[in-house]
Amino acid sequence: MTDVKEAVIDNILTRRTIRRFLDRQIGEEELQTILEAGLYAPSAGGRQGVLFVVSQDKAVNEKLGRIKRNNSHFRASTDTVYISKEQPSIADDPGIMNAFYDAPTVITLFVPKDFLYGPYDASAAAENMLLAAHALGLGGCYLGSAWDSFRDPFGQEVLREWKIRTDYYAAVHVLLGYPKDAQAPKAKERREGRIIRR
């Protein structure tokens, strides 16, 4: 049992955000394992209101990623304030035109518009999926404000094609694929003073 506990903690401590992916689709068995991890995430009141939409359509993902990039409002990074120097984000590199970073699989988590805790449920599910992906040797990236990807006629048409209920909205994207780089990005030093004991 100790080995299992150590493996779980090690998986949490070694997971990194990946933004550079191989042009290779993930396997169906891996995808199902990751989705199951998301389905078993905690949800407020056990409501299980999150909808998981899997897109492995390269053209659709490319277009939605560009829409999100065009609708993302952020402060550009500086030499001292940045997301990642090893695997730049769209905030770090204005030349990156696809906010999905060419990930072969994009899972969009939709939540009810009228449920206060929907975004938190989606975030919990996303973290479960990212940890599962890492345990399987895959790379993953969390993107919030997923509604930005659907803010144009193409995005609205995709929502209709996916048959997304109008009382739901996109909260989170989880990008998945095989990491392009053999070495994962280094972890940033943990900031001190964030734990307060009383």
Tens of pLDDT, residue by residue over 107-166, are 999 999 999 999 999 999 999 999 999 999 999 999 999 999 999 999 999 999 999 999
Nearest to 97 by CA among 147, 63, 141, 73: 63
Nearest to 161 by CA among 60, 25, 50: 60
What tokens does 118 get? 């929907």
Residue 75's pLDDT is: 65
How many CB atoms are closer than 10 A to CB 14? 11
Q: pLDDT tens digits for 171-183?
A: 999 999 999 998 8
What tokens does 194 get? 């964030």
What tokens does 164 get? 């997304």
Rounded to an integer, what distance in angstroms lies between the CA atom of residue 87 and that of residue 92? 9
What tokens does 46 get? 């056990």
Nearest to 89 by CA among 12, 190, 18: 18
Residue 10's pLDDT is: 95
Q: Which amino acid is at 113?
A: K
Q: Residue with structure tokens 């938190």?
A: 120
Residue 74's pLDDT is: 66
Residue 91's pLDDT is: 87
Q: pLDDT tens digits for 24-40?
A: 999 999 999 999 999 99
Q: What is this structure's pTM?
A: 0.94
